[in-house]
Each structure stands twice: as C-alpha cells, then as structure tokens.
Amino acid sequence: MEKRIEYLEDVTIRFAGDSGDGMQLVGAQFSNTSGIYGNDVNTFPDYPSEIRAPEGTLYGVSAYQIHFARHKINTFGDFIDVLIAMNASSLKVNLPKLRRGGIIIANTAGFDEKNLSLAKYETNPLEDGSLSDYQVYKIDINRVLTHVLEDLNLNPKYVDKTKNMFALGLAYWLFNRPLEATENWLKAKFAKKPDILEANLRALKAGWNYGASREEFAIQYHIPKADLEPGIYRNITGNEAVAIGLVIAAKRANLPLFLGSYPITPATEILHFISGFKKFGVKHLQAEDEIAGICSAIGASFGGYLAATTTSGPGLSLKVESIGLAVMLELPLIIVDVQRAGPSTGLPTKPEQSDLFIAMYGRHGEAPLPILAATSAADCFNMTIEAARIALKYMTPVILLTDGYIAQGTNPFKIPKLEELPDLTPTFVTDPENFQPYKRDPVTLARLWALPGTPGLEHRIGGLEKEDITGLVSHDPLNHQKMVEIRQKKIDGIVNDIPDAVVEGEQEGDLLIVGWGGTYGAIKDAFEKMRQSGYKISMCHLRYLNPFPKNLGDILKRFRRILIPELNNGQLRAILASKYLVRGIGLNKIQGLPLKAIEVEMKVKELLNEVRS
C-alpha cells in the first residue's frame, strides 16, 4: 500500500498507560533508537510515586515523553504531537497536553466499562465525538496480539505484557525508525527465555506491519538527522552521566573511587550504575542509612580515595551533620543531590529545585562549601568532573545539584577524549619534615593531604575545632574565629577559578532572565524563540551557585528588571536579593513537573506588555 511521506522538523510523542504497562521501557527504547538514527533527543519519564499504583486509576498513569528533532533541542516538548494511550485514564490525564490536531493511538481494550469508570468517564470518549479535534486511531491491541501469538500457547498475561512492544513497533513505523536496536536489546534481555523473546519480537514487528498495511495510516512522518557537532554520541541520562563522571574523574585524578550511598528516589540509579564499574577498581557501599553512606565516604576520603555520596532532598537533610564534619576536616568529597519535590517525602518521583536553601545554608555553624548545578542530562557529566576538580584542588566537600527531570531524562552526549579532560591529580604530602596537617597552600588555602599510614605523617582529625597549622583540638576563641574566617576565605577564593557568567542577547537593558540548573532548556528555548521574533531580551544561566561568578553583580546592575524562573517558591531570587540587593521577579512553578518554554515565553510577554501599556 502506497503511503504519503511528510517531512517534519521535530515531534513530541508520549507513551502512556498503567505502571505495569512498560511505558518507561518502550519510551527509553524509542529515545535510544532516535538517537542512533541521528536525531537530537530530549526526554521526560513521568511516573507515579507508588511502586505499583492500582491498575486503571488516574493517579496510576505512567508515561514517557520524547521530543526528537532534526535540529538542536533543549526541552522535552511543550505540547504532545502523538499520544499513545493504553487505557482510558492515560488518555484523560494526558489529553490536556496534546495539541489540537494531534494524533491519538488508543488501545480499545483499555476502554471497557471498568476502565472508563476508573477514569471517571460517563461515556466512551472514543465513541462520543468529544475527540473530534484530534486524529484518533482505535486499535484493539490485545485482540491483534492474541491472533499473532496464538501458536505460542502463552499465558494470557504474557500476551498482554507484549502490547507495549506492539505500540513501540507502530511508533517506529509512524516515524520511520529502524527496529534493529530494539530487536538486539530484546535478544540480549530474553536470551534464556526463547518463548518470551519470540513473543516480544513478533509483537514489535506486528506493530510495524500494522502501520504499514492499514489504510487509515496513510502518512509516514520523516524527521531527518540532526546537524550535530561531529563526534561520537550516545544517549545518556543524568544519573548515568554522574556515575560515568565519577569514574572518569577518579581516572584523571589517579585515585581509586569510592561511593557510599543509601538508595533514594530519584538518585538510586547512580548507585546502580556505579556497581557496574567494579572492573575499573571502583568500590561502592549500599549503606544501611544516609548517615552511614556519607560517613563511609568521608572515611574513604581520609584514606586517599576520590569519595562521593549521592542522595535526594530528605537524604541531604540526614547528611547535614556529617557535611559539617567534612567541612571541619577539610577533605575532598562530592555530594550529589538529585532534587525532588518536598517537603518531607513529598512527591518522590517528581522534579523540583527544592534544595538550594539547604545546600547554601543548611548546616549549623559557619560551614561554607562550593555549590554547582548541572543544566542537562549530558551536563551532569561535565559538572561532576568540575565538582571533583574543585573538591580535590581546594580540599573541600562540594555539593552538585541535579534534579529528577535531568537525572532520569536523556539527551545526546558527545563522548570526550580522555586526554581532553583536565588533569585532576592531587598532591599528597610525603615529606615528614615540618609536616603539619593544617598547613596550607598559599594560593588555594587548601590544607595538606597526607595518607594514613605514611611514616612520619601520623595525624588526627575530628569534629572539634582545630588549631591553625597544627590541627590540635583548640577551644581558644580567637583561634576559632581565625579558622572560621580561613575556611570562608578558601571558598570565596574559588571565584577566581571559575568562569564568568555569560549574558546572551542584549548586554544591558530592560529584561534579563536568570536561571539555574535544570530549567536551562526551557529558558533557552523561550529566549531563542523570542529573540528570533524580534524581542530585545537577555538571559544568564548559572551553574556556579557558591561562590557566584565574580561578574554576576555587575551584570544584574545593567538591567532594569530580573526575571528568575525556578521550580521552587523563589530560593535563588531570595539569595540574589540578599547578596546583590536586586528585586527579582519570580516565575515559580511547584507542581512536580519540569518548566516549559511556553511558560517562560508567556511570562516574558506579560512583563513586556506591562511596559508597553
């Protein structure tokens, strides 16, 4: 059957169903395949906090959104172009996100009386005309698969589990994606289960063939390869980028790596990924609690390891006392906080920029430390390397902030050459003559790092205040003030070792958008779209939060108004106000959802319209 081919610049597709329908799995496969094909990709896994929410319920909907394009993209897409809905609830939850005229592919088996009731539909939306503004394709996927797999004599529940592969195969046909990568993945995953392998391979091909053979699917959409910078690329999640970044940082520092962590959503995957690098000499501990995790890492750092601990908001709260200990000991330590919605347990699987205050201020006493923030999944690698550089050079714990969106979403990562990365090799003191544990480098103010067991370099460290130079316990009031001031001066001095903040657009004027961390993509896309439309606006995105870049204050003074989009109630806005006396305008989204470019664009237009009026 001859099909019409339509070429597009970019598309956003969303797979949605119950928690057990495998939407995260097929979404990841579609993302990986699109990356292999050569598109730029940005994704958003969106799933409930329950381990297995009740089937068919509105709050049990799990989804995976993929934005893929022939050009550079920075977000997971403001609106959905294609929604694949496995049941009534997945349609109802996601329909408001679907653009008018968009495509709905609905599994009619999930729209029976029970599912309609759970979704709180009084009538079937596939039949009552309420979806007339969309292109609706109704398929009884379960019935098709029962026929395709009938000779395998599988348990009906296994037949039902393959419907996600049918949906994936159909999506591959719709957008001209190859099947080979997913076929190879299935062969590896089910190598010891030939009947399950055969069922999934058949379901995948059945989805492709359905699109190719059915008259109603008259158009196949082609999104050409993106014109990316030459190099070797792979799709990567932020959590995987952090794990690889830690391993590479240890390699560049010529140190063994130790990760001490307690599992917590959405940071747990870093621990999982690290456990796969044992062949590189990596050591890890899945501790019994958050405190044990960070204390084991502090001990490893004392012993000469590049040490790290990973967590999310509630875990960072539990680590606070031990972070203060690491500040007092002045040992290098990387603390990765994958932020999620709070307070307390909050929304464990949802993103938020909720921990800037606790990272900046959340310790008793004067306990300053550097704070960095990654802007994307791929940037998590870069900022992990940078966190290691600063920690080792300045002998200090460093907090790296990511969030659930960039940690579990994906985008293409250009694999760097090892020799292009900075040399992170630290200098251990080896000469016992005149050794003192708190003797400092005159430039960085980093104290000496001596390995325990080195003859002549015996020393003690602990949580009580240290005497300057000797490191002996001291309760002298003047010494305490001196040590507090030295530790602060050391962190303040890092400002001379980080890049200046960069303003894009007008270098001075009316409106500057200032963001930090994972909101970069939404701000960047909104900024570029509005600049192309002739708006004179500017943006400045921060990856260094303590200390701030040394030119930030001068930048803020050059603009009449400062718009600060954040996934919190105004934490960066409050910090900038206290430090630079600027009265920022907040765009605060606290919904457990990433920021969208359209939200930034609408706020900017609102502000500019105020000026015109």
Q: Which residues pair with 435 in a beta bridge?
A: none
Q: Which residues pair with 438 in a beta bridge?
A: 469
Q: What is the average per-residue pLDDT within 489-502? A: 98
Please give the angle made by the CA atoms of 543, 323 and 516, to the nearest 5 degrees: 15
103, pLDDT greater than 80: yes
Average pLDDT over the chain reads 96
Could you say which architecture CATH assigns to the domain 504-612?
3-Layer(aba) Sandwich (3.40)
Summarize pLDDT for 364-420 with one digit per residue, the tens.
Answer: 999 999 999 999 999 999 999 999 999 999 999 999 999 999 999 999 999 999 999
Q: Do domains 234-420 and 504-612 have the same CATH topology?
A: yes
pLDDT of res. 509? 96
pLDDT of res. 611? 59
Residues 6+ apart with CB under 8 A from 606: none
Q: What is the average per-residue pLDDT within 494-503? A: 98
Q: What is the average per-residue pLDDT within 191-208? A: 96
Proportion of the chain in helix, strand, coil states, percent, rounded to 5: 40, 20, 35
Burial class (CB in 10 A: 0-12, 13-18, 19+), 272: middle
229, pLDDT greater than 90: no
Task: Give CA–CA dist 134/125, Å, rounded.
Answer: 12
- Position 392, amino acid: L
Q: 338-374: b or e for each residue (b if 16 or more CB lie within 10 Å)? A: bbbbbeeebbbbbbbbbbbebbbebbeeebbbbbbbb
Residue 419: φ, ψ to 5°: -75, -15
Summarize pLDDT for 473-485 with one digit per residue, the tens.
Answer: 999 999 999 999 9
- For the chain, the straight-line distance linking the first and the last C-alpha, in angstroms and rounded, comes to 57
Domain boundaries, the chain: 4-222, 234-420, 427-497, 504-612
pLDDT band at 596 (very low <50, low <70, confident <90, very high): very high
Task: Give CA–CA dist 317/289, Å, rounded.
Answer: 12
Under the phi-then-psi rule, with left for phi > 0, alpha for psi from -120 to 50, and beta for the rest, what region is 573? alpha
pLDDT of res. 612? 59
Q: Return the structure tokens found at 545.
A: 């939060």
Summarize pLDDT for 13-30 with one digit per residue, the tens.
Answer: 999 999 889 999 999 999
The residue among 60, 56, 67, 64 whose CA lies nearest residue 116 is 56
Q: Which residues pair with 284 in a beta bridge?
A: 259
Domain 4-222 sits in CATH at: 3.40.920.10
- Position 152, amino acid: L
Summarize pLDDT for 307-328 with one digit per residue, the tens.
Answer: 999 999 999 999 999 999 999 9
Task: Give CA–CA dist 495/501, Å, rounded.
Answer: 11
Q: What is the DSSP string of 97-156?
A: GEEEEEEEEEEGGGGSHHHHHHTT-SS-TTTSSTTTTSEEEEE-HHHHHHHHTGGG---H
H-helix or E-strand spanning residue 243:
helix 238-253
Q: What is the DSSP string of 4-55?
A: EEEE-SEEEEEEEEEGGG-HHHHHHHHHHHHHHHT-EEEEEEE--SSSSPPT
Fold type of domain 234-420: Rossmann fold (3.40.50)
The residue among 172, 170, 167 whose CA lies nearest residue 30 is 172
The residue among 57, 100, 107, 60 whose CA lies nearest residue 80 is 100
Task: Give CA–CA dist 374/270, Å, rounded.
Answer: 15
Summarize pLDDT for 536-553 with one digit per residue, the tens.
Answer: 999 999 999 999 999 999
247, pLDDT greater than 60: yes
Residues 6+ apart with CB under 8 A from 359: 316, 337, 371, 399, 401, 545, 546
H-helix or E-strand spanning residue 250:
helix 238-253
Q: What is the DSSP string of 198-241?
A: HHHHHHHHHHHHHHHH-TT--EEEE-PPP-PPSS-EEEEEHHHH
Q: What is the DSSP string of 258-281?
A: EEEE---TTTHHHHHHHGGGGGGT
Task: Give CA–CA dist 349/48, Å, rounded.
Answer: 7
The residue among 231, 367, 343, 276 whose CA lies nearest residue 568 is 343
